[in-house]
Amino acid sequence: MVDYTLKEIISAKDIQNRVKELARDIEEDYRNREVSEVIFVGILKGAFIFLADLLRNLNLPAKVDFMRISTYGLNTVSSEEIKITKDIELDIRDKHVLLVEDIVDTGYSLKWVVDYLLTKKPASLKVCVFIDKKERRRCAVEVDYVGFTVEQGFLVGYGLDYSEKYRHLPGIYEVCFSGVRT
């Protein structure tokens, strides 16, 4: 049995305010570059809520696609071995792509997806992550837009799960383990 409690670290209101700011930054950057259309690629499942909120705050011609890779599964530890379980369906060659992730932790997933999408030769590829978590970073990844920076802790809510639970929570919570983990 795993004993734990959830402690709120980012409120739903703070998230909504930050998402609006991020959307404004993204809009301004692409407008300044005179980009007429952006393809948003969300990484399932975690990014589904962030991507939906981001898009609804943006006034920019956008298309949406999703990709799913297998890494964490039901665990809190990354497997390092990554496979595509659902590929994107749009052709991104010569298109401007914004990759949207819920969290960068070790960095393995993001690095792998960036390298993969670059093989499809987009006109540009930028990265937007909701949470940049520093503690377990193992590989360097360049991120263009960051919602919040967090030092440590296993986080849930706003798309993030622990064993598929808590994705629906509107805030971000740290999982505080108290008992013996078996």
CB of residue 80 to ligand PRP, shortest distance in Å: 8
CB of residue 113 to ligand PRP, shortest distance in Å: 8
Q: Residue 154 binds which entry of ligand PRP, ligand HPA, Mg ion, none, with Cβ cut-offs from 5 to 8 Å by kind?
A: ligand HPA
Sequential DSSP letters for 93-130: TTSEEEEEEEEESSSHHHHHHHHHHHTT--SEEEEEEE
> Segment 138-167, which members bind ligand HPA (CB under 6 A)?
154-156, 160-161
Task: Specify whether 105 is catalytic.
Answer: yes
Q: Give the residue with the Cβ less far from ligand HPA, 53 or 161.
A: 161
> Segment 109-168, which members bind Mg ion (CB under 5 A)?
161
What distance in Å separates the CA atoms of residue 157 and residue 172, rounded to the nearest whole number?
Answer: 5
Name the token pair of 129: 């992550």
Residue 105 within binding range of ligand PRP, rule CB under 6 A: yes
Give every CB contact of residue 135 below 8 A, 6+ residues apart in sequence. Answer: 105, 151, 152, 153
Q: How do strand 83-86 and strand 62-70 relate by DSSP bridges?
A: antiparallel
Give every CB contact of residue 52 below 8 A, 6+ residues apart in sequence. Answer: none
Q: Residue 101 binds which entry of Mg ion, ligand HPA, ligand PRP, none, with Cβ cut-offs from 5 to 8 Å by kind?
A: ligand PRP
What distance in Å separates the CA atoms of residue 47 and residue 181, rounded to the nearest whole number?
Answer: 28
Q: Give the residue with the Cβ less far from ligand HPA, 39 or 51.
A: 51
Residues of this chain that bind ligand HPA (CB under 6 A): 72, 103, 105, 133, 154-156, 160-161
Residues tagged active-site: 105
